[in-house]
Amino acid sequence: MGTDIYGGIEIRNPNADEDWYTRPPWERAVDLYPLYSGRDYAAFGCLFGVRDLVGWEPVAAGRGLPPDVSPELRKEFDEAAGLDAAVHGPTWVTWAELARIDLDAAPADIRGALVLRDDRTPALEERRWVTDDWPPDVLDRLGPGPAADGPAATPFGEWRAGTTRVSYRRFTRRDAIGPGTGWEHVFAVMGALAGRFGDEHVRLVVYFD
């Protein structure tokens, strides 16, 4: 079964430390959906260590819910976990942490990625991870590519194999969570909120099923 992500963006009220303030310090500001509705395991692994197939150093893995999580998100998570035993992996990350991410960093366990597009279905894209060897099923379908000695001897680039356009490229955090992935909408909202509340006072709280 696939894994999906849920949650929301929280802000810390600027008055939370005042003696007269009696409300919860953190409140839910924006739902994760519809800002992000994807199911890209490269992003889940890169950010949260969930479904990590390539050896990312995740930004915010396994932290659980924040002790002072907003009542709205606490209720949502508790209800979801009570209904579905597959709910797992609650964690959170501040905008300050996200803003410091090195988008050019690559995961440790792969050399790069093959992106395959067939002329007969140009809207569809298939991504395959490359280690020290080409994926065996890709070899069977498309052959060894321009360098028979394997990925180590193959420069990043593009070539054709029949009706398939093959792109062999370095894969970085930018590819997982950068512009065009859907996460740019989440980050834009968090960045805007941080301009009002401060980088440490805006956070994303998520969980998975």
| Domain residue extents for the chain | 5-104+174-208, 112-170
Convert the pLDDT of each residue in 121-162 to its tens digit: 988 999 999 999 999 998 888 887 776 678 888 899 999 999
Average pLDDT rounded to a whole number, residues 14-40: 96
pTM equals 0.91
Average pLDDT rounded to a whole number, residues 171-175: 97
Convert the pLDDT of each residue in 60-103 to its tens digit: 999 999 999 999 999 999 999 999 999 999 999 999 999 999 99
pLDDT at 147: 64
Residue 89: CB atoms within 10 A of its CB come to 19
- What is the DSSP track for the chain? ----EEEEEEEE-TTTTSTT--S-SEEEEEESTTT-----HHHHHHHH-SS--S----SS-S--S-TT--HHHHHHHHHHHHH-TT-EEEEEEEHHHHHT--TT---SS-SEEEEEEETTSTT--EEEEESSS--HHHHHHH-STT-TT-GGG--SEEEEETTEEEEEE---HHHHHSTTSSHHHHHHHHHHHHHHH-GGGEEEEEEE-
Integer CA distances (angstroms), 112 to 43, 123, 127, 151, 196, in order: 15, 22, 10, 9, 39
Q: What is the mean pLDDT of the chain?
A: 95
